[in-house]
Structure 1
């Protein structure tokens, strides 16, 4: 469901870009100038999110994260720092082993894009690394009236 062309990352290293963290095939995302990252994930249809998995090293994996939904564009670091998030998550070293992290399902019902702000990392080191990030949810089932087929009668006729 992730639209990889619509994804963006602020403060990513040129050698270790965001796209490497979206697959479990190896490689990792690393921050560039400091420990903060902003990940903007775009979905190709509305989704309901219920949990996520984040893998990273115990030393410099992400620690405090803020989640924002349906932002019109990628927010900057000052906005992410001060804005109210849909959910704030404090990760432990055990969470970074790929543990399932439950999300506030009620607040994440009709998500077109998700912004993840990584505030800091586990040991306050210079850069943050994310080996793999997985967002788990399901598509919002919408009914397209044009898909309905007439069973009996003619258009405009009632029975």
Structure 2
């Protein structure tokens, strides 16, 4: 038996649901309106055979009498109103309890769910190597980085340049290949690195994955370190200077420990998602490394989230702060 529709009790719960679930059917209703209650039952009954409820998609009930802020944010003027949202963006809406119109919306829901399942199964739009699994409902959007405009400061020129960070190939430190070009970057004069990456489209970032695979010779003072303290900045038109990056308040401060790195040397860093909406660029400032060395090493970077038209978070900001803000 498929679980019933989720009753939304607060704007924060609604915001959380939109972030956690790729496809949401919102049923705006009023308990005093029999037609709106009937519309809810229609989709609940007609999706009993549709797999993925609670993982790929969810049906939510929103009482407009109690949650007027959500009603106003989405311009709901009457009930029943059934809205289909994908990645937080409205893709279809049915007004009234017309069974034919609701059946059309049900069919569109099924197509969206099947597409999302296929996307999840493939992992991303490309078969590139990743050092960690993708968060549910999100894809690898690293290919949206504009490599020609990206800039990496304080890099040792004997190691790879900025392009190797976004390579789709498995790092040589894991593949066992030796003797070729160094497919990683190391800092030069000290342990700090500054990476500026503009994007080809507006992104919503969910997770930053960093792979760092320094050699394990503890007796060598020249062995580079993994990043420890990182500062992230969004929507900068160009790279920052080191002094500027030190002084500016970051969009997010990150402190990594040994336990954050998996067996493939990758740390998956969850981002404060509400702060990483409508992003056209990202600056990654490695402040220091974890250890007593003089250099920091990074083998790969992966950006996980969504590309294309960004979610209209303005609606959410009007109706309540997300958890953790």
TM-score, normalised with respect to structure 2: 0.42
In the TM superposition, residue 33 of structure 1 has moved relative to its aligned partner by 0.8
| Structure 2 Cα separation of the partners of residues 94 and 7 of structure 1 | 30
| Structure 1 Cα separation of the partners of residues 225 and 168 of structure 2 | 18
Task: Work out which of the residue numbers 82, 96, 113 in structure 1 matches 2:247.
Answer: 82
Structure 2 vs 1, CA of residues 95 and 132 (structure 1 numbering), >3 Å: closer, same or farther? farther
Task: Work out which of the residue numbers 189, 206, 224 in structure 2 matches 1:33.
Answer: 189
1:63 aligns with 2:228: yes
1:23 aligns with 2:167: yes
Higher percent of residues as helix? 2
Partner of 1:49: 205
Uncovered stretches (5+) of structure 2, i.e. residues with no partner: 1-143, 172-182, 215-223, 311-325
Q: Which 4+ stretches in 1 moved above 4 angstroms?
A: none
Uncovered stretches (5+) of structure 1, i.e. residues with no partner: 143-159
| Structure 2 Cα separation of the partners of residues 110 and 36 of structure 1 | 27
In the TM superposition, residue 99 of structure 1 has moved relative to its aligned partner by 3.5
Q: Give the root-mean-square deviation of aligned CA atoms.
A: 1.5
TM-score, normalised with respect to structure 1: 0.83
Partner of 1:5: 148
In the TM superposition, residue 83 of structure 1 has moved relative to its aligned partner by 0.4
Partner of 1:119: 287
Partner of 2:266: 98
Structure 2 vs 1, CA of residues 141 and 19 (structure 1 numbering), >3 Å: closer, same or farther? same
Higher percent of residues as strand? 1
